[in-house]
Amino acid sequence: MKKTRLLGFTAAAVLVAGIAGCAPPEKKSEGGQTESGGNASEATSAEDFGGMDALVEAAKKEGQLNVIALPPDWANYGAIIKAFGDKYGIKVNSAQPDAASQDEINAATQQKGKSTAPDVFDLGQSVALANTAMFAPYKVATFDSIPQAYKDADGKWVNDYGGYMSIGFDSAKVPPVADVNDLLKPEYNGKVALNGDPTQAGAAFSGVLMVALSQGGSVDDIAPGVEFFRKLKAAGNFLPVDPTPATIESGQTPVVIDWNYLNAAETAKLPSWRVFVPSNAAVAGYYYQAINAGAPHPAAARLWQEFLYSDEGQNLYAAGGVRPVRADQMMQAGSIDKAAVDKIPVIDGPVTVPTPDQTEKATKYLADNWAKAIG
């Protein structure tokens, strides 16, 4: 009884959405059924479709995949999107490539029920863990080979790739950076940029955490990091500019604190660009991959996951300078792209990965103190 009423309501909502005409409504019947008669948006593994081939078939029938906030020069996403599209003949619609994690969730909420809503998410830690209710649980074929710490037990989210916080610099313009404290020297006047505002962007947050560790702070005490940036600003070294590949190549931001894979990607375009990961203050971060529970292309969304966690997808990540989550297992199996993985920095000492609680405490401190420090 309740179900029929819900259906009636959905039908009415679809009708209204159709009249509003912002985007054609998702037709539930199209490609929504799996081989075994189940609903694609409730499938939790390829088995539910009747095997991998049936999943590919269902995804092809949908014909499209909506991804969001995947910059082409970030973790090799440009190549990954192309490879996926070519392999399966599915059109990948990449919306707002430069958007932040929270924008992905906002887009999914605002476009709920429309064919333009994002199918899959690639999120920073805090946004991912705060929104697990929006994710559809799904276990890829390689689920068991992913370390326990990097996945939700039900497959609601799985870490896809990670990296270390690093300092990138143009060796043609500034002396080499060998220590975080070097950045306070007069040679770096007006040259040091941070990728975003740490109260807004995950990368910048990790950058401040890295600096905090180098200044005697800890993952529970980010204050020394904020203090360092205050000194950097007072010395006139801190540039309040959001670095992009364009600002790096044109020389506007000769020193950039960012993920090592983003900095490494710049070396391909600017040969004098070097990447330094401080071994006494190594901060690692993993991104979170998840399927939108209301995905307009549920089968394509699941196929995308299968692709990302296949050897092929993981090696494509590695080629982008990031550490794919299955790296260890693939190294043992010998299926990893050696040439690509050799370029990824290896840290011998301890590596810091903040827990959600620690992140929350640190962001609270940042929200109250960051603007004051660099204002």
Partner 1 sequence: MSRRIRESLPLLPFFALVTIFLIVPTATVIVSAFFVDGVFSLARIAALFSDTALSALWKSVLLSASTAIIGAVLGAVLAWLIVSSAPTSVLRRAVISLCSVLAQFGGVALAFAFLATIGLNGVLTLWVQEHFGWNLAGSGWLYSLTGLILVYTYFQIPLMVIVFVPALEGLREQWREAAVSLGASTFQYWRQVAVPLLTPAFLGSFLLLFANAFAAYATAAALVSQGSPILPLLIRAALTSEVVLGQSGFAYALALEMIVIVAAVMIAYNALVRRTARWLQ
By CB under 8 A, name the binding residues for partner 1: 100-103, 106, 123-124, 126-127, 130, 189-190, 194, 196-202, 205, 236-242, 247, 250-253, 359, 363-364, 366-368, 370-372, 374-375
114 DSSP 8-state letter: B
Closest CA to 225 of 245, 243, 211, 207: 211
Residues 6+ apart with CB under 8 A from 110: none
Distance of alpha carbon 185 from alpha carbon 187, whole angstroms: 5
- Could you tell me which residues come within 8 angstroms of residue 60 by beta carbon, excluding any fewer than 6 positions away? 88, 89, 90
Taking the least distance from each CB to partner 1, the nearer of 239 and 316 is: 239
CB-nearer residue toward partner 1: 185 or 364:
364
- Nearer to partner 1 by Cβ, of 216 and 375: the residue is 375
CA angle, corner 107, sides to 101 and 109, nearest 5?
110
Rounded to the nearest whole angstrom, what is the least distance from the CB of residue 344 to partner 1 in the complex? 24
Residue 218's alpha-carbon distances to 149, 224, 255, in angstroms, are 21, 9, 24
Shortest Cβ distance from residue 120 to partner 1 (Å)?
A: 17
Minimum CB separation of residue 148 from partner 1 in Å reads 25
- Indicate the residue among 53 and 368 with the shorter CB distance to partner 1: 368
Nearer to partner 1, 79 or 127 (CB): 127
CA 275 to chain centre: 20
Beta bridge partners of 123: 288
Which residues have C-beta within 8 Å of that of residue 375, sequence separation ≥ 6? none
CB of 370 to partner 1, least distance (A): 7
Specify the residue, 246 or 339, whose C-beta has the smaller distance to partner 1.
Answer: 246
Nearer to partner 1, 60 or 233 (CB): 233
Tell me the closest approach of the beta carbon of residue 90 to partner 1, in angstroms: 28
Distance CA 346, CA 14 (A): 52
CA nearest neighbour of 169 among 153, 158, 180? 180
What distance in Å separates the CA atoms of residue 274 and residue 255, rounded to the nearest whole number? 10
3 state SS of 116: coil
User: Could you give the C-alpha distances from 221 to 29, 124, 280, 283, 349, in angstroms and in order?
Assistant: 53, 21, 16, 14, 20
H helix or E strand, kind and range, residue 136: strand 135-136
The least distance separating partner 1 from the CB of residue 11, rounded to whole angstroms, comes to 25
Task: Judge whether 292 and 121 are in contact, CB under 8 Å.
Answer: yes
**How far apart, in whole angstroms, are the C-alpha atoms of residue 310 and residue 301?**
14
CB of 115 to partner 1, least distance (A): 24
Return the number of the residue (84 or 169) whose C-beta is nearest partner 1: 169
Give me the numbers of helices (H) and strands (E) for the chain, helices first please: 14, 11
Q: Is 262 exposed, middle or buried (0-12, 13-18, 19+ CB in 10 A)?
A: buried
Cβ proximity to partner 1: between 219 and 374 the closer is 374
**Least distance between partner 1 and beta carbon 229 (Å):** 10
**Cβ 61 to partner 1, closest distance in Å?**
34
Backbone angles phi and psi of 361, in degrees to 5 = -65, -45
CB-wise, 240 or 271, nearer to partner 1?
A: 240
Tokens of 337: 């792209």
Q: What is the nearest approach in angstroms of partner 1 to the Cβ of residue 123? A: 8
